[in-house]
Structure 1
Amino acid sequence: MPRHFPSTVAGTVEHEIVVTRSRFLTTIVPVTGVEDADRVIAGVRRRYWDARHNCSAMVTGVLGDQARSSDDGEPSGTAGVPMLEVLRRRDLTDVVAVVTRYFGGVKLGAGGLVRAYSTSVSETLDRVALVHRVELTRVAVTAPHADAGRIDNVLRQWVQQHGATFDDPTYGSAVDFTLWVPQDAVDLLQADLAAASGGGLTPVVGGTRVVDVPTH
């Protein structure tokens, strides 16, 4: 059974809500790791230097196994943790959320703050495009130049139909093709390639990697 990996977001999204005159501006950004997330948080702080709070939550790592949050002066547990819980519920990783609060003069109480910060992140995530991650297996195929054009067409069509990806061919004494294929489709590729080449081509199955697959 294929391994499950958390998704991430395709790009930066910003959204604002107002709760009892307090403004909550959310910035959600895809990141490559903790240091990248820290740079995003620092950038938001500089941008909204006059705000009372810039609370944050991040999840990083291909399995989403690293997480951190900050209440940034709000009562403990009322901002960063609720924000983090939203990211967790959405099954996301390599993402940072920063919620900037401009105080409106009316205290919201602990429950009100939890709702405001979690709603800010949730509504912003409703506006993002997701990038799913899947583990694909490397399959190498070497074809003689005389057959390369036809095999190229066969493989490109196959990739489109089976959730695989296709690297640019490498030309030498022969032509080397590299495909990244879902594990449960490797046997099918071998059979289809044998049929297309009259049994003349034998794919070589290699290691795996996790790749991003944008949703449409």
Structure 2
Amino acid sequence: MTEQYKTVYEGGEGEIVEKKSRFIATVRPVETEEEALAFIEEMKKKYWDARHNCSAYVLGERQELMRCSDDGEPSQTAGKPMMDVLTGAGLTNVAVVVTRYFGGTLLGTGGLVRAYSAATKEGLANSTIITKYWGTKLLVNTDYNDIGKLQYLFGQREIPIMDAQYTEKVSFVVLIPVSRVEEIKKAVTEAVSGRAGMEEVEQLFYALIDGEYICF
């Protein structure tokens, strides 16, 4: 299990015009190859009257699966440059289709590579890109006297408090990268002189999106 990877949270669209040819990039997050293929077919139906609907997708936390299609353009001038943009940005679990409406002027192989790359970059620029972290939800129970110490500790170490319950004792649920669990447990124990109880609730991926932590 990889500890973190970059992906697209919300896809976007981007368009460039090169010598009167329109290149429309549509980006979408995908989890499986079936999702990627269904997305490509959806775009081909949407832009049925276009000359080309070239595609690329990357899947797997370590980019294990990569596929691309030139869809009738000269070999290596569309799908591969599009995929290179995705992998160059360190992205995975993402698909992109670049639709071309031919403008009447041939661009040559170099011009096609530049156009498909630029369109893909424009689509990514209009997408929401996030980093997903593999983390642990840790439940921490302690006395009311220790609230300030723990809040300070979590704030200093940039550990988000996802939930807080105030009953006979105080319970915090915090989100910690897996690699830092033992470090944080030790810091909590030292901060409250061993008075805190701790339990690892679950492991999951999470990301910081628009200032808010989202679990997946």
Normalised by the size of structure 2, how large is the TM-score? Answer: 0.79
> Residues 22 and 36 from structure 1, CA distance in 2 versus in 1: closer, same or farther, beyond 3 angstroms?
same
Cα offset, 1:76, TM superposition: 1.2
Aligned to 1:84: 83
Query: Could you tell me which residue of structure 1 aligns to residue 52 of structure 2?
Result: 53
Shift of 1:37: 1.5
- Structure 1's 215 and 63: CA in aligned 2 closer, same or farther, altered over 3 A? farther
The number of residue pairs the alignment matches comes to: 210
Unaligned runs of 5+ in 2: 212-216
- Structure 1: state its 5+ residue gaps: none
Preserved contact between residue 11 and residue 128 of structure 2 (Cα < 8 Å): no
Could you say which residue in structure 2 is the equivalent of 1:40? Answer: 39
Aligned pairs for 1:1-216 within 5 A: 5-142=4-141, 147=143, 159=154, 161-168=156-163, 177-183=172-178, 185-194=180-189, 197-205=192-200, 208-214=203-209
Shift of 1:47: 0.9
- Give the structure with the larger strand fraction: 2
Distance in 1 (CA, whole Å) between partners of 2:127 and 2:148 is 35
Shift of 1:192: 4.7
Alpha-carbon contact 2:53-2:71 (below 8 Å) kept: yes
CA shift for structure 1 position 82:
0.5
> How far apart are the structure 1 equivalents of 2:166 and 2:83?
48
Q: Sequence identity of aligned pairs in percent? A: 37
Cα distance in 2 for partners of 1:185, 1:112 equals 47
Q: Deviations over 1:18-75 (max 9, x none)?
A: 1111110110111222222222211111111111110001111122221111111111
Partners of 1:179 and 1:161 lie apart in 2 by 13
Helix, strand or coil at the partner of 2:97: strand
C-alpha RMSD of matched pairs (Å)? 3.0
8 Å CA contact 1:6–1:64 kept in 2: the answer is no
